[in-house]
Amino acid sequence: MAAQALYRRWRSQTFAEIIGQEHVTQTLRNALRAGRIAHAYLFSGPRGTGKTTTARVLAKAVNCLNPQDGEPCNRCAICQSLNEGRSLDLIEMDAASNRGIDEIRNLREKIAFAPTECRYKVYVIDEVHMLTNEAFNALLKTLEEPPPHAIFILATTEPHRVPLTVLSRCQRFDFRRVSLSHLKQKLERICAQEGIRIQPTALDAIARYASGSFRDAESLLDQLASYGAEEITLEDVRRVLGTAPEEVIAGIIRALMTRDVSTGLRLINEALDSGVEPRQFTREVLEYLRGLLLVKNGSASLLSVTDEMRQEMTALAEAIPLGRLLHIARLFNQAANYVKTGIYGQLPLELAFVEAVLWDEGAMPSGGKEQPVGVAQPARSGTAKAVAKESKETGALVEGATSVVVSPPPAAAAKAVEEATKPSAAFPNEGAAIPGITLAWLQENWGRLLQATRLRNRVVEALLKSCEPILVEDDLVTLGFYHSFHKERMVDEKHRTVVEEALAELTGRSYRVKCVLFEGDRKGREKQNEVDRREKLLNNPVVSEAIKRYGAKVVDIQ
């Protein structure tokens, strides 16, 4: 018989054993003591935080023959049956693989039957957000008025995808990401009971890697316990996770501080060549940069690191301006997205590193966003995806969702790109108050508005691509949409507010946004606008420079 995994063997059996979710467990215990049992609950929160465990404890508590202060006794026949998975009255359903209307209809047909041995039949539907709209509709009536012997517990990691009609029929409990101290507390208890010897530094590394998930932490500990060593060391954790030593991460950050490109690139490639997993490596760099930000802002106490490492991070934080540190963190955060899908794991990291080295803080316009040397910001006429093939002779590359990257740019190329990306005269000081914008100004700087919107909400950016500014009067900006569907979505206050905030950031003044349907030939106007946008993107100075000087080839524009 296969050995039971640690996370299953150490699943909490009472509310008191559930760590870090006292705001949930205390409320449920009080309700059970008072006999106020709801017919439907929604448990939401990150994975591995105890949603399904709490659902099972609740199923035991409502059916226990000898409950004690709102807790199940875990000794009666009902509790033992539920603990051993033998009870037919606890029905667990995975909505990710049973998401259709047929499964919900089957559930509705069986729910009318009385429980076999328990007082209540408890239905636990995990990842409930995966149900189809038809399945949700089929569930609604039963969820609103279930038989008196039925209780529903819905669990999800994405509550925003659950229809409001379902949410309104449930008591909602939000589970929080588990703190590092709570993770370490449970891991220490497991190691003590299971006879697992582990170094404190290794335990810290496991807890940090788990990122607030008990299940991830326990699964990793289980894997390491099977590794065969008498004592689990920090090196064992690194080898299993594919992580880099802290001194390597610190060395890369020091190379950034001193603008030592060759050392930084060498450390990145040596780490990856030694077997370090690219995504985990990027995550570690970001975690280190986050630590520097905390130290820089007087929050070093939030770091869970050794005293020696805290001193080194303090020295590095003092040596770098806050603006440059923020820019570096953004670059590596963007690189993390490309590492997931890139063919060459190290390329996004190398690009981020070189760009961070080349970036000149003095080149940033007052009050505005960074304009790094080596990366062209999106064209003002819209967003583009200009993907080019790498030139064998020069190594020039044009890539990225909305940017053109030249890596590594020679001094002359860097200067040319810097000239091409300087703010236009129409936009001399981003963020400074402009004494009343005009329609012409807004049309000229429409691309900048799209860029500012993208940083806040990509859905709103997509909606803006289906419209154009048609009127500016005092503090009111009127947008003409080509399709009524897009207009109706933008009328939503949460979407409209995003545009108003982006306008305020760009102009230094508050503007209201009004959405109307574009008058005239909307289809023809939309087509012409797309043609104009693509033409301007192809004529962008940076794209032209990459094609002319480095032999780059544009293969797609989106």
- The secondary element (H helix, E strand) that includes residue 178 is none
3-state secondary structure of 476: strand
Residue after which a domain boundary falls, among 124, 158, 174 = 174
Q: What is the pLDDT of residue 542?
A: 66
Q: Are residues 403 and 513 in the same domain?
A: yes
CATH number for the domain harbouring residue 231: 1.10.8.60
User: Do residue 199 and residue 158 come from a single domain?
Assistant: no
Same domain assignment for residues 53 and 160? yes
* Same-domain check for residues 19 and 148: yes
In the prediction, which pLDDT does 537 show?
66
Q: Has residue 362 been placed in a domain?
A: no
CA proximity to 320, closest of 257, 263, 252: 257
Q: 227 and 132 in one domain?
A: no
Are 398 and 510 members of one domain? yes
CATH number assigned to the domain comprising residue 525: 3.30.300.180
Which of residues 174, 193, 211 is at a domain's end?
Answer: 174
Residue 419's pLDDT is 46
* pLDDT in the model for residue 304: 66
Shared-domain flag, residues 391 and 534 = yes
Looking at the domain assignment, is residue 327 inside a domain? no
| The model's pTM | 0.59
Enumerate the H helices of 421-507 as residue ranges: 439-444, 446-454, 458-464, 484-491, 493-507
Count of CB atoms within 10 A of residue 473's CB?
9
Mean pLDDT of successive 10-residue stretches along the chain, which has 558 residues: 74 91 94 92 92 94 92 93 91 89 89 91 93 90 88 93 92 90 89 89 85 87 80 84 82 88 90 83 88 85 72 85 87 82 74 82 41 37 36 36 38 43 41 68 86 85 87 90 86 89 85 87 75 68 68 60
Cis status of the peptide bond prior to 408, with omega within 30 of 0: yes
Please report whether residue 360 resides in a domain: no
Please tell me whether residues 143 and 209 are part of one structural domain.
no
Domain that holds residue 449: 379-558
- pLDDT at position 555: 59
**Judgement on whether residues 513 and 399 belong to the same structural domain of the protein:** yes
Structure tokens at 412: 């002359």
Residue 395 confidence (pLDDT):
36
Asked whether residue 297 is assigned to any structural domain, the reply reads: no
Q: Looking at the 3D structure of the chain, how many domains does it have?
A: 3
| Pair 48, 186 in one domain | no
Q: Within a domain: residue 251? A: no
At 367 the pLDDT is 38
Give the residue from 241, 262, 290 where a domain finishes: 241
**Is 75 domain-assigned?**
yes
* Dihedral pair phi/psi, residue 132, rounded to 5°: -75, 165
Q: Quick one: pLDDT at residue 23? A: 93
* Residue 154 and residue 184 in one domain: no
Residues 141 and 198 in one domain: no
404 is a domain residue = yes
Q: Is 83 within a domain?
A: yes
